[in-house]
Structure 1
Amino acid sequence: MSHQIKFIMVGGFLGAGKTTTLGRLAKYYADQGLNVGVVTNDQAADLVDTNALRSQGLHVGEVAGACFCCHFNALMETIEELGSKSKPDVILAEPVGSCTDLVATVIQPIKRLFDAEFTIHPYAVLMKPSHGRKILKNETGSGFSPKAAYILRKQMEEADLILVNRIDELTTEEVDELTGLIDENFPGTPVLRTSALTGEGFEGLVEFLEQEGDFGSKVLDIDYDIYAEGEAELGWLNSSVRLTSETSFSLDQLLLDVITQLQASFKEQGVETAHLKTIGLWEGFFGVANLVSNDSEPKLSLASDCTVNEVDLIVNARVACDPESLTEQVTQVLQNCAKALNANLEIRQTQSFRPGRPVPTHRYAAPQ
């Protein structure tokens, strides 16, 4: 048989920990001597995830402008480009965190149209504890409407494996509760407890992903009207700026200040954060800070441990509010942070919008 590429897609809601998980998986397979390619996905360019993974020395391609399902041809072209010099042994794919129905629109098309080139491995979906617990318990005040919560439920419904991630942030009782909620809502779906950050439970994940079988076959019964309306509730912003100062400053503190001030602004406006990330890059140094919900703590997920006079910042914000308001809030916080450092702020590019209705390139209603 000719060389076949392992195709591993890891899904989950915005802020579930997909990028950290893929980074750890990429390192594992690279350490096995395999050639690894990573494909990230976003509704717009300037993605923190892409820059963070590339900064770790990984071969990363990006599908921007729409989800994998709507830009399926771009996904396959990106994979081909990653293999232009050396054919990958493994492709790790990270879909947009607000997307679902990926079995019918991504995995099944690969099975049917590119069967000779790929082997499909289990589709793992990370559960985001901060919103997942409230949504699976049908609690009010999850921060999202029932239409947005519908997406998170559908993501887990089509999974071959559900990962309770961020267990390093949870008590044993909280992890047990989440596992019980998954068993109750998605009976028969295997569940693993993991921490993408610390690596706990990672051996079990790798072992599961190495299985062969009829994976990626849970085709959803899905209402695209509800799906589209739920996704459109989120304001989507990607902004790229440069800060320059005559005096040096801590890059990591700047990243945390940006996230902390944005969290305060969103709380004041009464809008829920789905995910907020910022990366600072300068001359080989980089750091990343993020926030996964209004109730969580801002985190420095990757420390740069450096002081700089100049830095390129990328801010990605996914928030349940109007895009124009989101732009105003992010711009104001960046201006405040620059002023506090007596730094010049150059806004290079900002895109803000609500995602459009998903229109898949392919959709197979029955598994092959």
Structure 2
Amino acid sequence: MNTPASRIRFVMIGGFLGAGKTTTIGRLAQMYQDQGLSVGVVTNDQAADLVDTNLLRSQGLRVGEVAGACFCCNFNELTQTVDQLSADQRPDVIIAEPVGSCTDLVATVVQPLMRLFDAQFDVAPYGVILKPSHGLRILRKESGGGFSPKAAYIFEKQLEEADFLIINRVDELSTDEVEELEQLLKESVPNTPVLRQSAKNGEGFEALVDMLDQRGAFGQKILELDYDIYAEGEAELGWLNSSMKLTAEKPFVLDEVLLGIVEGLRAELATCQAETAHLKTIGLWEGAYGVANLVSSDTPAILSLGSNCLTKEADLVVNARVAIDPQVLETKVAKVVADVAQQQGLEIESHHTQSFRPGRPVPTHRFAEPQS
């Protein structure tokens, strides 16, 4: 990466909830570090207690978190968080992960950085990761792909503003599925470059690094966006972040607990036909950590990262984004966690839980016309 010495290269990777942004960012950060670059990461969520932050910190990365609103609505905290990460050692690269239900990031984040902070940041092309499970259904126009048309609208707008697109999880897809996704993207957003990758095994990452190192007329795609539809689409998702501590008299297998919670939630939510945007839980104890995920209602719960940990206690964080009333979601999460705890002989000490619907986006800045 050829970054001017006076400026920090700012890399933002977007994509819908469950697209694989965190895994991509973790691998990308490691590749930059292997090049001898200092890397900082900024995560983003509508609430505190973020699985992504815990996971990336567990990987030894310097991570700042912007919580309580998306980057666009909390722009000043984004730049302040970067300053905080720069306090001890100025990073060569900042990798930013926006909230997965947000769009209009070129007008509200990329352009403000380019215009107001040009002396501090050298902004990379903006890449958006395609989530295959919902992507195929939405791009095929299959009744919103499990979501209402308003929520699908956000997904489609994310693709529209990207400088380039990334088809992720190619290791889990057939050749025909990858080809169909690429063709659907060419029809939906023509003239936008499409990369293929597996964040899990690193396939395609050299092309990603090369794309992010490009300079030129990027960050110019200002959306025509209906903020009423956008706000209503976001508000259809129930949002839950919960943290707790698990203890037991006898050692328990942490990975079984993590997968049991996510699988239990998958089954519980299926009873009310609530579409899952993303469910994830992380367990941490004494340097060990594991993660279980569910990225859509029609895919299985998976242990995406095994801890291989046998322990008598662990810290647990659950994040859920589901098309359901948030209070109902909170009740279901509490029920499933309690059921798993009972099965495993665990005691639960709750620390913090937030459940809500995101409010209407009100950007700090929004530029209606692009400026290179």
TM-score after normalising by structure 2? 0.98
Q: Does 1:247 align with 2:241?
A: no
Matched to 2:218, the amino acid is: F
What is the CA–CA distance in structure 2 between the aligned matches of 1:63 and 1:122, rounded to whole Å? 21
Which position in structure 1 is the counterpart of 2:350?
347
What is the CA–CA distance in structure 2 between the aligned matches of 1:2 and 1:197, rounded to whole Å? 32
Offset at residue 323 of structure 1 (A): 0.5
- Within 5 Å, give how 1:27-46 maps onto structure 2: 27-46=30-49
Where has structure 1 moved over 4 Å in runs of 4 or more? Answer: none
What is the CA–CA distance in structure 2 between the aligned matches of 1:340 and 1:293, rounded to whole Å? 26
Offset at residue 298 of structure 1 (A): 1.0
Matched to 1:318, the amino acid is: R
What is the CA–CA distance in structure 2 between the aligned matches of 1:135 and 1:63, rounded to whole Å? 29
Q: Does 1:263 align with 2:247?
A: no
Matched to 2:225, the amino acid is: I
Which position in structure 1 is the counterpart of 2:241?
238
Q: 1:18 aligns with which of 15, 21, 42?
A: 21
Root mean square deviation, CA, Å: 0.8
Matched to 2:364, the amino acid is: T
Contact 2:278 2:293 in 1 (8 A): yes
What is the CA–CA distance in structure 2 between the aligned matches of 1:344 and 1:34, rounded to whole Å? 43
Which position in structure 1 is the counterpart of 2:341?
338
Q: Does 1:3 align with 2:24?
A: no
Offset at residue 120 of structure 1 (A): 1.1
Which position in structure 2 is the counterpart of 1:273?
276
What is the CA–CA distance in structure 2 between the aligned matches of 1:72 and 1:210, rounded to whole Å? 24
Matched to 1:362, the amino acid is: H
Q: Does 1:127 align with 2:130?
A: yes
Q: 1:111 aligns with which of 109, 114, 121?
A: 114
Which position in structure 1 is the counterpart of 2:177?
174
String of CA shifts for 1:271-294, please: whole Å, max 9, x gaps.
000000000011111101111001
Report the 3-state secondary structure (helix = DSSP H, G, I; strand = E; otherwise coil) of the residue aligned with 1:300.
strand
- Within 5 Å, give how 1:55-204 maps onto structure 2: 55-140=58-143, 142-204=145-207
What is the CA–CA distance in structure 1 between the aligned matches of 2:318 and 2:70, rounded to whole Å? 19
Matched to 2:369, the amino acid is: A
Offset at residue 141 of structure 1 (A): 6.1
Report the 3-state secondary structure (helix = DSSP H, G, I; strand = E; otherwise coil) of the residue aligned with 1:256.
helix
Report the 3-state secondary structure (helix = DSSP H, G, I; strand = E; otherwise coil) of the residue aligned with 2:26.
helix
String of CA shifts for 1:74-123, please: whole Å, max 9, x gaps.
00000000000111100000000000000000000001110011111110
Contact 2:37 2:92 in 1 (8 A): yes
What is the CA–CA distance in structure 2 between the aligned matches of 1:141 and 1:185, rounded to whole Å? 15
What is the CA–CA distance in structure 2 between the aligned matches of 1:214 and 1:91, rounded to whole Å? 20
Matched to 2:81, the amino acid is: T
Matched to 2:335, the amino acid is: Q
Contact 2:254 2:311 in 1 (8 A): yes
Which position in structure 1 is the counterpart of 2:305?
302
What is the CA–CA distance in structure 1 between the aligned matches of 2:231 and 2:351, rounded to whole Å? 30
String of CA shifts for 1:42-86, please: whole Å, max 9, x gaps.
000000000000000000000000000000000000000000011
Offset at residue 3 of structure 1 (A): 1.2
- Once structures 1 and 2 are overlaid, which stretch shifts more, 204-213 or 171-180? 204-213
Q: 1:219 aligns with which of 195, 219, 222?
A: 222
Q: 1:283 aligns with which of 271, 283, 286?
A: 286
Report the 3-state secondary structure (helix = DSSP H, G, I; strand = E; otherwise coil) of the residue aligned with 1:70.
helix
String of CA shifts for 1:107-158, please: whole Å, max 9, x gaps.
0000111001111111000000110111111112621000000000000000
Listed as ranges, the gaps of 5+ residues in structure 1 are: none
- Percent of pairs identical after alignment? 64
Residues 141 and 147 (structure 1), Cα distance of their counterparts in 2 relative to 1, 3 Å cut = closer
Which position in structure 2 is the counterpart of 1:358?
361
What is the CA–CA distance in structure 1 between the aligned matches of 2:286 and 2:114, rounded to whole Å? 42
Offset at residue 215 of structure 1 (A): 1.2
Offset at residue 343 of structure 1 (A): 1.4
What is the CA–CA distance in structure 2 between the aligned matches of 1:112 and 1:305, rounded to whole Å? 47
What is the CA–CA distance in structure 2 between the aligned matches of 1:299 and 1:199, rounded to whole Å? 19
- Once structures 1 and 2 are overlaid, which stretch shifts more, 138-147 or 248-257? 138-147
Offset at residue 269 of structure 1 (A): 1.3
Report the 3-state secondary structure (helix = DSSP H, G, I; strand = E; otherwise coil) of the residue aligned with 2:73.
coil
Matched to 1:167, the amino acid is: V
Offset at residue 2 of structure 1 (A): 5.5
Matched to 2:270, the amino acid is: K
Offset at residue 23 of structure 1 (A): 0.3
Matched to 2:22, the amino acid is: T
